[in-house]
Structure 1
Amino acid sequence: MSGKRFPEEFKIEAVKQVTEKGHSLADVANRLGTTTHSLYAWIKRYGPEASHHQAKSDESDEIRRLKKELKRVTEERDILKKAAVYFASQSD
């Protein structure tokens, strides 16, 4: 594996050759000197369905953020409950 790095414009153009111009994936990969695996990854990232994948990723990020916030707020609530019980017992 050569570990070559290709510019984003190169990747987008390679994806267009497969998705818009109808060239075979293996043919494009051979002509451009990359692997079919890389080309599949580029299609997933830059292809016509990329906005769908990005939307799913954004939703996952939002769910992760909300779960983290829920955990923090739940912990704060539990601490406040314990503090209320403590102070209620101190005032008696």
Structure 2
Amino acid sequence: MANTPQAEKRIRRNARRAAVNKARVSRIRTFVKKVEASLAAGDAAAAAEALKAAQPEMMRGVAKGVLHKNTVARKISRLAGRVKALTA
């Protein structure tokens, strides 16, 4: 339990930040799922469009400090490779 006013404030702030970060990660996952659904359906055009929409969201997660840069780079690279393989 927090003993000082500053520690109590940090607990409140951390709870607010956790809620914001959880919403951001959830939003990113939704965009990625749209790409994966298009890939599973075999729709190359929809997959390319979904990837185009997902990339900025994922990079925004990096900028906001929710996800690590290399993690997002790896995920974008793998998704792009799958989309490219579907179009070829």
Provide TM-score, normalisation by structure 1: 0.40
So what's the TM-score if we normalise by structure 2? 0.42
Higher helix share: 2
Structure ID, larger Rg: 1
